[in-house]
Chain A
């Protein structure tokens, strides 16, 4: 592994996003407002149906703010890198990435890791703190839970990367990735549990939603945060669920990348 190279790429990804301070401030504002709206909606819902999906009111409110904090970190509504990658494929700038002595997927993964880390600090912490000031929601039991939560977030972010990377790869064949992006966006919005926790989904739909990869991105980290996994084995199971999806989807991304670089035309110029 070329740790130093990819560490440099990740650091670059972090600093690139850090240069856009106004965008970060605007994002924090949007997340906070959206969090307030969702909070009041959830309060109304949980007033009617206490313990819905096994969550108390405090759990539900924590869930809202975790969601707001992770929107960009775990790419719930778009991975935050796929538009750039699709644009590079469409314009042919991807040629520059391809001749480099570096692996395309590892390169973008590292860059995205840097981006996620910045988003966690820049756009995750503040809305969560604001939410905690306004509402009295559940906080993790202790530092161990915080740590376990961060591991789940890292895994969730990896699954998110893998999904959006696959989406971006489709641009090699479709040339215009917008259609696929729209579908992935809608799928992510619904199946990540961004609008409503997945454990609230009824029957077969709920069963399905909880085993799809999008569950790794918000539902699993939130449940880790809320301490819903009793004991080490359950927690390990949750990590394994995320890890398996990460491996499968990263593998699919590699296969798509190999097929693309082998036979697909690099556009333009």
Chain B
């Protein structure tokens, strides 16, 4: 049995809407529609999909905040769903919940677990008590997090005065003080600048390598996945659409990267470079699309050989675009975002 195991997991929400004076209509939304997968101990997995695909709902079920409508769910051998905890009887619901919470860490990128008005270190003292972390272990883990996440200067600063990137690092540290075996990260790099993103990624890579922490990560940023995850799962409309390597996703999705070249002057469209497709031009700047699975190097060489090249950049397709391409042309507006 896998460390994290989902079997035909479902979550249905009923949405009631007012129609006229007394009429109410009920509509069922299947936020998670029969998802099955297993994650082994020590894996680092990306869990991606467009907004409203069901990512956060899955995470909430895995942490035991939401009860599944159907299917089975096990995390470290524990069934996290609140209703099963209520049924389990022995020791009551709180014991199961505490048992699970001791073994998982959660970071919600858009929320914080830290005490807003108090210095950062106060929140860590709280974690110390909350997870009953032995003193020596607490010291050791805190020191490590402070060093790797560069929190030393921030410990005495009230959380409300931290920047988003600082707060995120503070939250990640808070989730790790009790040595969780699994770390769920819901959009850990959302809103962060490039430097902060890099630092967070570096830390997670190091954590996974040195502590063997299993990481499940949702994100909208493909670079997170590229740099961290050997495996990616794509979900859309509550269904698992893809489970495998990131490169494979690009192949399946036939996604394209964009080569942006700045020429010395305005020139006719570059249409004679093999493997590239001319998209559009803005004065001396031209946009060429090429398959995401192939290398940009030969393309750059070919363009540089034949044209007066001043500057260039490569744009990665975002996840929504990849998924939109993967599952047909029904989402034209998403493909636009490639442009």
Give chain A's interface residues, CB within 8 Å of chain B.
2, 4-5, 8-9, 12, 15-16, 19-20, 92-93, 95-96, 98-103, 258, 261-263, 265-266, 269
Contacts and interface: CB of A to CB of B under 8 A. Distances in A.
A16 B118 contact: yes
B209 interface: no
B3 interface: no
Given A2-B129, A19-B118, A100-B113, 7 more contacts: A4-B129, A5-B130, A96-B108, A101-B97, A101-B102, A262-B83, A269-B108
Given A12-B126, A269-B111, A101 B86 contact: no
Given A99-B106, A100-B101, A262-B67, A19 B117 contact: yes
A6 to B, nearest CB: 9
B56 A269 contact: yes
A16 B98 contact: no
- Give the size range of B's interface with the partner: 35 or more
B110 A269 contact: yes
> Do most interface residues of chain B lie in helix, strand or loop, or is the interface mixed?
mixed
A16 to B, nearest CB: 4
A103 B94 contact: yes
Contacts of A269: 56, 108, 110-111, 186
Contact of B130 (A93, A101, A262): A101
B86 A96 contact: no
A102 B108 contact: no
B317 interface: no
Interface stretch (B38-46, B57-65, B292-300): B57-65
Nearest to B15: A265
B203 interface: no
A18 B226 CA distance: 46
A101 B63 contact: no
B71 interface: no
A30 B126 CA distance: 34
Contact of A262 (B13, B86, B117): B86
B129 A5 contact: yes
Contacts of A99: 63-65, 101, 104, 106
A263 B63 CA distance: 15
Interface in B105-121: 106, 108, 110-113, 115-118
Contacts of B64: 99
Given A101-B102, A262-B82, A95 B122 contact: no
Nearest to A264: B66
Given A16-B117, A19-B118, A95 B60 contact: yes
Contacts of A8: 125-126, 129-130
Contacts of B278: none
Contact of B66 (A2, A15, A93, A266): A266
Contacts of A266: 60, 65-66
B183 to A, nearest CB: 13
Given A12-B115, A262-B82, A265-B13, A98 B65 contact: yes
Contacts of A12: 115, 118, 122, 126
Contacts of B82: 261-262
B50 interface: no
A197 B98 CA distance: 46
A99 B101 CA distance: 7
